[in-house]
Chains A and B, each alone.
Chain A
Amino acid sequence: MVRYDYFKPFTLGEALELMERHRDAVYIAGGTDLMVLMRQKKLSPKALISLRNIEELSRKDGLVIGSCVTHREIQEDETIRKGFQALHDAVCRLGSTQIRNVATLGGNICNASPSADTACPLLVFDAEAVIAGPGGERRLALVDFFLGPGETVLQRGEILKEFRMPGHGANTGSAYIKQTRRNGVDLPIIGVAVRVTVDRKDLRCKDMLCSAAPASEILAHFGEEELRCEDIRIAIGAAAPRPIRARKAEEALKGQLISDETVAAAARVAASECAPRDDIRGEAWYRREMAEVLVRRAVMKSLDGVLRPDEMVYPDRLW
């Protein structure tokens, strides 16, 4: 085992100060990525500065989520489960129970994997990142936080402190769907988050969503009842060197009636905005195809959340 020192500060100030004094140190939160990197000798810091015991970072207060809140805590949060389903979906399928019990939201983001499950949901909720550094705090839109695989805008010594989500109006639903080879403990081949706001929720055809009808038929019914998409966000993971917003697809659907044609067209645009690569989990062409499929499904799953808010999303395999 490579030797290193381990510090356990209790305040942000102490953590920042420790980092000033120990030039070869890195911060550690849940450690589920970092401990693996060190074991594989891809990282050999001289010291670890633990962020686990800093109360300020573990706070969860409405739409402000501290960076050291664990996935498990988010999984159990009723407000998030009801109003921010995409984030709930993502944390439920990240890693395993053991991982979720310790892995933190901030860690998932700072690791900056293009496939980070929580990145897409946070992007569709327009999350802002609050960063604490030796010189004070700064804020920026999370979409600008990622620079590339494993690279973020964090400067030396800076700590991602919390996420702030602005909240959204009524008739809004969201969903995150990831394509994996197996159900548990897998990274997405492609991951899609959608948040959609529509003009009303009293639709006669809403129970179509629990039928076994093909997606095109269900969407066609929405079109007939003139359900309008007032606002939409689409984010895609594992589709480019960093998690992306599919802005052209969003523009294509915003203000339009929801129908088979408009949603399919937006999904095609979203797929064209992906710049995936071939890797061990999937080939680029497959990722592009699946992005199109999953955007359409995620729109429908989001609508399900709006139209049938208190019911089980059903049948789950459709999504």
Chain B
Amino acid sequence: MKREISFVLNGEPVSVDVEAQWTLLHLLREVLELKGTKDGCGEGECGTCTVVIDGKAVNSCLFPVMEAEGRSVTTIEGLRAPDGGLHPLQKAFIEHGAVQCGYCSPGMIMSAYALLQEKAEPSDDEIKDGIEGNLCRCTGYVKIIEAIRSVAKGR
């Protein structure tokens, strides 16, 4: 049995029919076909499914779709500038070589995005805490931290 829920997705109000047992990740990828958000471990360990809900980074693989009702969800697709250009974080990830295989990048960038929304000038320790829930198996994290640092205000 499908039910309609309404929420704000990347700044636009949407109404979609969902099934109660879906996760937010399932809705995003399989129904709305926003494939930027990745499906990794499905258990909240790897963070590649990270989206930002009401300003906070959340694992969309563990988030029941029914709880999205009335909330504001931002995915990697929502970071795009109005002119279609890349977000400063996305540019910085490319410039700093923080993307290798790329599988962790959307989640990593969403965690960084949530962090910078809250703290314009995070310390390196705060950056590390901010991406603590995002695994990367290629870069060794250093370039990722450098990329985030370069976007942080005043650096």
Contact = CB atoms under 8 A, between A and B. Distances in A.
A52 B67 contact: yes
Interface string A1-21: 111111010000000000000
B63 A31 contact: yes
Nearest to A182: B132
A211 interface: no
Interface in B84-130: 111, 114-115, 129-130
Nearest to B111: A97
A2 B21 contact: yes
Given A31-B63, A95-B133, A101 B58 contact: yes
Given A1-B21, A97-B133, A6 B64 contact: yes
B44 A95 contact: yes
Interface in B22-67: 22-23, 26, 42-45, 47, 50, 56-59, 61-64, 66-67
A178 to B, nearest CB: 15
B66 A6 contact: yes
A154 interface: no
A20 B31 CA distance: 34
A167 interface: no
A294 to B, nearest CB: 22
Contacts of B67: 8, 50, 52
Interface string A175-197: 00000000111000000000000
Contacts of B64: 6, 28, 31, 35, 48, 50
B108 to A, nearest CB: 12
A98 B52 CA distance: 9
Given A39-B43, A185-B45, A185-B133, A102 B26 contact: no
A31 B62 contact: yes
Given A39-B42, A98-B57, A185-B132, A3 B47 contact: no
A28 B64 CA distance: 10
A5 B20 contact: yes
Contacts of B61: 35
Interface in B58-87: 58-59, 61-64, 66-67, 69
Contact of A96 (B26, B66, B133): B133
Contacts of B111: 97-98
B56 A72 contact: yes
Interface in A8-46: 8, 28, 31-32, 35-36, 39
A101 B55 CA distance: 10
Report which residue of A4, A5, A52, A97 has the largest number of chain B beta carbons within 10 angstroms of its beta carbon.
Answer: A97
B17 interface: no
Given A31-B63, A32-B62, A48-B64, A98 B50 contact: yes
A97 B56 CA distance: 9
A39 B45 CA distance: 14
A99 B133 contact: yes
Contact of A3 (B19, B63, B130, B133): B19
Contacts of B114: 97
Contacts of A72: 56
A45 B66 CA distance: 16
A167 B56 CA distance: 31
A76 to B, nearest CB: 10
Contact of B44 (A5, A8, A99, A183): A99
B147 to A, nearest CB: 18
Contacts of A102: 58-59, 62-63
Contacts of A1: 19, 21-22, 26
A91 to B, nearest CB: 13
A35 B129 contact: no
Given A97-B57, A102-B58, A102-B59, 4 more contacts: A8-B67, A32-B62, A36-B62, A52-B67
Interface of B: 19-23, 26, 42-45, 47, 50, 56-59, 61-64, 66-67, 69, 111, 114-115, 129-130, 132-134
Which 7 residue pairs of A and B lie closest in terms of their CB atoms, listed nearest first?
Answer: A96-B133, A184-B132, A6-B20, A101-B56, A35-B62, A98-B133, A6-B66
Interface of A: 1-6, 8, 28, 31-32, 35-36, 39, 48, 50, 52, 72, 95-99, 101-102, 183-185
